[in-house]
Amino acid sequence: MGVRAVKLFALTIVLLVIGWAFYGAQPAIAQSPSPANAMSSANDLYNSERYQEAARSYERLVGLGHEDEDLFYNLGNAYYRQDDLGRAILNYLKAQRLAPRDGDIQANLSFVQSQTVDELEPAEFGNSLTSFANAMPFESTNTTAGLMLVAWIAFAGSIAWWIIKAMPSIKHPSLITAGITGALLVLSAILLTGSLQSESEYDDTTVIVASEVGVMSGPGPQYAEEFILHSGAETELIEVRGNWSRIRVSATDLQGWIPRRAVESVVPSNS
């Protein structure tokens, strides 16, 4: 499992703007490594088989608010190399949420899922609209949104052309163009909606990151233990009460309470 280069150009620009804004008051910020350099340094640590240090470096980028499929993919690889199946699966799912059609992410996720202790079927996401969107050859929601913008511009332009030319015939080329671009606009809107639905399917998805955890009948150690889950088990968050999370195992419909620290969400609570 190799690492991949980060796609953080836009984030780099944002950080540069912030750096310029605080240049006078915070000179240390200007000396901080850029996200691309930080990613490159983390990749070097990974390639040197210093997986624990690489994971910490990737996590620092995540902690700064960076969300990128390559960052999560590489972080998943680093955790897998440490035999931390739970956090490997967690980060592969985070990467898959951003790039649901990426073959490398899917292959690594499936491979690590096959090594978990609990014999659970991975959660299946999506309805027909989501499946249709995921079947399209676009890498991410941003790409689909870009397609929608282009289709909208073409549609608006063709309508304006038709108004200017104002011909009575239905066969006028501008009407044909308007029809085609209108159809593209509708298609791109469907794709965007499907992609957004695909991302939202992960909203309640959690992964067990503890090596082993007892699932209790209530929110506390005084309750009876119902069953045990192990690192990498994929669950659904139902509710949080204090330091306890109520989860459901989709594959079996079993549910119960576990300590919050034993499970992490694919989608951060502040997303």
HEC states along 188-227? HHHHHHHHHHHHHCCCCEEEECCCEEEEECCCCCCCCEEE
Least confident of 4-18, 107-121, 147-161, 211-225: 4-18
Mean pLDDT of 3-20: 51
pTM of the model: 0.65
May I ask the CATH class of domain 205-265? mainly beta
Instruction: Indicate if the pLDDT at residue 229 is higher than 50.
Output: yes
- Which pLDDT value is given to residue 242? 94
100-155, pLDDT tens digit by residue?
A: 889 999 999 999 999 998 876 555 544 444 444 444 555 555 555 555 555 556 65
pLDDT score of 156 more than 90: no
Q: In this predicted model, which residue has the larger pLDDT, 160 or 227?
A: 227
Select the highest-mean-pLDDT range: 79-83, 117-121, 157-161.
Answer: 79-83
For 117, phi then psi, to 5°, come to -75, -45
pLDDT of residue 175: 53
Q: pLDDT averaged over the chain?
A: 76
Do 144 and 195 contact (CB within 8 A), yes or no?
A: yes
AA identity, residue 187: L
- Under 8 Å between Cβ of 116 and 231: yes
With 90 as the cut, is the pLDDT of residue 248 above it? Answer: yes
| pLDDT of 266 above 80 | yes
pLDDT at 29: 36
Q: Is the dihedral of CA 196, 197, 202, 203 positive or negative?
A: positive
Q: How many CB atoms lie within 10 A of CB 223?
A: 15
CA distance 73 to 69: 6
Is residue 236 over pLDDT 70?
A: yes
pLDDT of residue 235: 94
**Whole-angstrom Cα distance, residue 120 to residue 252?**
8
Q: Which two tokens stand for residue 256?
A: 């119960």
- Among 8-12, 105-109, 267-271, the range scoring the smallest mean pLDDT is 8-12
Question: Is residue 72 pLDDT above 70, yes or no?
Answer: yes
Q: What percent of the chain is modeled with pLDDT above 90?
A: 48
